[in-house]
A and B are shown apart, each in its own frame.
Chain A
Amino acid sequence: MSKVEFNKETGPREVFCGLTSIVWLHRRMPDAFFLVVGSRTCAHLIQSAAGVMIFAEPRFGTAILEEKDLAGLADAHEELDRVVNDLIARRPEIKTLFLVGSCPSEVIKLDLATVAEKLNKRFLGQVRFVNYSGSGIETTFTQGEDGALKALIPLMDSSDEEKLLLVGTLANNVEDRFKKIFRNLGISNIESFPPRQSTELPKIGKNTKVLLTQPYLSDTVRDLKHRGCEIISAPFPLGIEGSTEWFLAAAKAFKVSELKVHEIISPLINRAKLALESHKEILKGKRLFLLPESQLEISLARFLHNECEMDLIEVGTPYLNKDLMKEEINLLPDNTKIVEGQHVEKQLDRVRESNPDLVVCGMGLANPLEAEGISTKWSIEMVFSPIHGIDQAADLAGLFSKPLKRNQILTSKTLVTH
């Protein structure tokens, strides 16, 4: 392991809660509905994070707790029953309904597992109910996906068939690319979790080899291990280096020769390096500060330093699972400063003191930092854009070079002297 500096910080945070992950999960599984049991705040949060509403009727909603629900728990269960009945009558095409716990439902100890169990009996053969918590008192941002996937594992049948299981939401086009490359490597039995249809859950067992596509799935990984799956240890497929190592790790698990991997992906790498060049020109030598939010920060830091030659000032991460991140941390340069957790005020002090060229942060902080003359990239864009894989390396770099390029255009001397 490289000599990385680990720090912990606590205090006020500026991070989304796990409910936010519904925004991409519901798009991944169009036959599922996400029903948050929470407050008006939860409803407002999801719609604000989702931004423009281009849909007629979203496949997520909130059963908003009212005063009368808080008075007695039995009441709340009946009320939830009623809401679910209405919802299923309205949306008969829904195959899986996620009951999503929130901060208020956790605090009043609303037992969503029991509710889900009862509903499963009633709607047997029509709709499946699963529950997990996306509450801010337990989860940050992308951890919501971890909860949702973990909740699906008990529904997955067992099979001893040998297969490669890609775990973590991917953009559909990226998923297709990955599958094609694996097939070219001779690994033909590949499935994804979450699947594109909530009812088409992969079967798992002792010959299932899990390859993670996202770094925020600690609980899911643990439960997959319990089901006998083998977890392939690898960095995450962001950038050329990460993706190459990721393919190599999978190939090794399937006893495909390293030579074959290089043979298949070399043309891709060459192409990607060429595409990366113009972005690297902009990013090279620029100083980067990553605030904690998406949990992708460590992988992004590794990519932006190793492949785009940026200097790392500080790498924030909402939480650190050293085991899952082992391969990533090994690739980081010596003396990288990793800060787990957040005290947003103290961290912003450090941002200002260190005078970075680019800050990766949440949307709430972006404009205020820009107003101070600091270029920013919103981290939420990473979870909405196809950024995984060798072919996407230049696009990923582009997300970071664009604000710097823009800054250069807008502060050009010609403008000032006018």
Chain B
Amino acid sequence: MELTLWTYEGPPHVGAMRIASSMKDIHYVLHAPQGDTYADLLFTMIERRGQRPPVTYTTFQARDLGGDTAELVKKNIKEAVERFKPKTLLVGESCTAELIQDQPGALAKGMGFDMPIVNLELPAYSKKENWGASETFYQLTRTLLKEKVSYSEKISPLRWKEFGRRPKVNILGPSLLGFRCRDDVIEIQRILSEQGIDTNVVAPLGASPDDIERLIDAEINISLYPEIAEASCEWLKRNFGMEYTNTIPIGIKNTIEFINEVHKKLDLPLTNKKELENKSKLPWYSKSVDSNYLTGKRVFIFGDGTHAIAAAKIAKEELGFEVVGLGTYSREMARQVRATAKDLNVEALITNNYLEVEDAMKKAAPELVLGTQMERHSAKRLGIPCSVISTPMHVQDVPARYSPQMGWEGANVIFDDWVHPLMMGLEEHLIDMFKHDFEFVDGHQSHLGHTATNTKDILNSDEKKEKNSKEGIIWTESGRAELIKVPFFVRGKVKTNTEKYAILRGIPEISDETLYDAKAYFS
């Protein structure tokens, strides 16, 4: 039993709903009690969907349990098929139905329908949402393509040359309730098209079962979101020999790397290599003098595996930040996140407990947090600017405007979204110059930042703490006066470090000089 106050991921059947709702001509019969329909509002409210998810809930009740719940399942399947006429039927169960073992998938298969039926067995007591989405997409792909395995030749990534046409790829993994998938797909298709590569199928987002059957018309697969697509890509590779890409095109370096990887796999010459550097404004914006102020900004990153790893790389290599924390809630991606963290010399935080994340955030004393909607709440409480880079997300993370994370435009969006919550470069410089003027309001931040009241609270609590500091350390007048001069957003860190230094050296009273000694010691 695990005490959970809030969870980053829903149960695995919500992952299955994400696949079903992303696609056309599919219906999902879910053996589930009343209440599980709450999942509909994730789609209709967060994504502002104008259609209900294509899901029928069998809605069994306690009084049904003594009787024949299997009959109830069959009745709902029959009605759903008659009403919605899906081309493929998904059948599965939520956590409670798993316990009563009606085996709805087997029941459906015995009802004599001629459409393909995918029996989803998603263990609700050990797996979570992203796994459920991945498994559903995999089972669907397998069901619709398995008959073609035996008579299909291995697909060579070079066969487009023989066919005398442009190479074709599939873009796999984008789904509803994924982070900015809608716009990433447009961006990646545009980039591929510019390189002379056609998109065969995008799935699951917007695909129908017919499209899934056409996957093998492409030469290779783009695994755009490995959390959802990798299992399917791996199956297609094993059974049809289709190669798939590993690079996630988030950030300039990875987008270029991605284009390289695709060209290499297809044996397509890359003729515009030099141009690629200039496709996004990020490299120049990052190099321009205003961005000097971004150098070494301390950033704390937490999210799904794909987005957290990408963010760490961009933060360090493309914006010149210092990554002071990196983690993920996705156990499936723990290994990769750990490897990235090791390269960055930080310890990876792998947890599903948001309070642990908040504690780590507090200790790392970052100047910017990149996280999920929950880290936005935590950062707000701590008075730290934050940008959301990953699911789970809130309605405001599904913007009306085009705002991908991937490709050239994605890099532009990332530059803006991460830098705007910070104080603007020259503004920070000016504030530093004028901060002793009486008109100056301490805690002033950029218009997108947080309010000054937070800072006052920190100040007050600083003072309180200073009076009865642990280990009997006292802040003298001069020490306190100097501490107040430190910009508010690093004040907490300076205070902790100075106290740490004082304890280390056995200094009972912290003066202005102690503060400078500590600064030198830790720099």
Contact = CB atoms under 8 A, between A and B. Distances in A.
B45 A363 contact: yes
Interface stretch (A13-21, A158-166, A189-197, A272-280): A13-21
B45 A41 contact: no
Interface in B44-76: 44-45, 48-52, 56-62, 65, 76
B197 to A, nearest CB: 35
Nearest to B84: A345
A325 interface: no
Interface string B352-379: 0001000000000000000001100100
A14 B10 contact: no
A43 B7 contact: yes
B35 A15 contact: yes
A56 B49 CA distance: 30
A227 B126 CA distance: 45
B388 interface: no
B96 A103 contact: yes
B79 A345 contact: yes
B45 A136 contact: no
Given A14-B40, A364-B41, A64 B4 contact: yes
Contact of B1 (A13, A47, A65): A65
Interface in A8-26: 11-20
Contacts of B95: 38-41, 103-104
A147 interface: no
Given A40-B10, A64-B4, A136-B34, A104 B41 contact: no
Contact of A83 (B1, B49, B58): B1
Q: Which of B13, B94, B99, B374 has the most CB of A within 10 A?
A: B99
Q: Which of A48, A65, A140, A345 has the most CB of B within 10 A?
A: A48
Q: Which of A13, A76, A79, A363 has the most CB of B within 10 A?
A: A13
B59 A11 contact: yes
A219 interface: no
Contact of A107 (B35, B39, B49, B65): B65
B33 A43 contact: no
A186 interface: no
Given A39-B95, A41-B95, A57-B355, A364 B40 contact: yes
Interface in A64-88: 64-67, 69-70, 76, 79-80, 82-83, 86-87
Contacts of A138: 61-62
Contacts of A54: 377
B480 interface: no
B470 interface: no
A83 B60 CA distance: 30
Contact of A56 (B4, B36, B58, B381): B381
A45 interface: yes
Interface in A365-411: 365-368, 370-371
A108 B99 contact: yes
B2 interface: yes
Contact of A40 (B7, B45, B374): B7
Contacts of B60: 137
A140 B40 CA distance: 16
A50 to B, nearest CB: 9
B83 A345 contact: yes
Contact of B2 (A56, A66, A70, A371): A66
B383 interface: no
Given A17-B35, A53-B374, A103-B35, A41 B124 contact: yes
Interface in B174-230: none
B50 A371 contact: yes
A106 B62 contact: yes
A315 B7 CA distance: 36
Interface string B88-116: 00000011100110000000000000000
Contacts of A18: 35
Q: Which of B33, B34, B58, B99 has the most CB of A within 10 A?
A: B34
B37 A364 contact: yes
Contacts of B13: 41
A135 interface: yes
Interface in B1-22: 1-7, 9-11, 13-14
Contacts of A137: 33-34, 60-62, 65, 96
B350 interface: no
A140 B2 contact: no
A331 to B, nearest CB: 29
B6 A47 contact: yes
B44 A366 contact: yes
Nearest to B5: A61
B123 interface: yes
B128 interface: yes
A12 to B, nearest CB: 5
B55 to A, nearest CB: 9
B11 A367 contact: no
A39 B1 contact: no
A98 B200 CA distance: 54
Contacts of B4: 40, 43, 61-64
A136 B62 CA distance: 9
Contacts of A19: 35
B4 to A, nearest CB: 5
A52 interface: yes
Contact of B45 (A65, A82, A367): A367
A13 B37 contact: yes
Contacts of A49: 38
B312 interface: no
B394 interface: yes
A135 B96 CA distance: 10
A224 to B, nearest CB: 24
Contacts of B83: 345
A58 B6 contact: yes
A44 interface: yes
A39 B125 contact: yes
Interface string A227-264: 00000000000000000000000000000000000000
A215 interface: no
A368 B47 CA distance: 12
Nearest to B29: A12
B42 interface: yes
Contacts of B394: 52
Nearest to B75: A11
A11 B65 CA distance: 15
Nearest to B376: A53
Q: Which of A17, A40, A52, A137 has the most CB of B within 10 A?
A: A40
Contacts of A76: 1
A257 B40 CA distance: 51
A365 B3 contact: no
B3 A83 contact: yes
A15 B32 CA distance: 12
A107 B126 contact: no
A11 B126 CA distance: 30
A104 B96 contact: yes
A85 to B, nearest CB: 10
5 contacts: A39-B124, A44-B7, A70-B99, A103-B96, A140-B35
Cβ-closest 4 pairs across A and B: A17-B35, A371-B50, A136-B35, A364-B40
Interface of B: 1-7, 9-11, 13-14, 33-42, 44-45, 48-52, 56-62, 65, 76, 79, 83, 94-96, 99-100, 123-126, 128, 355, 373-374, 377, 381, 394
Given A11-B79, A45-B38, A367-B44, 7 more contacts: A15-B35, A44-B7, A53-B6, A57-B355, A69-B125, A87-B3, A104-B99
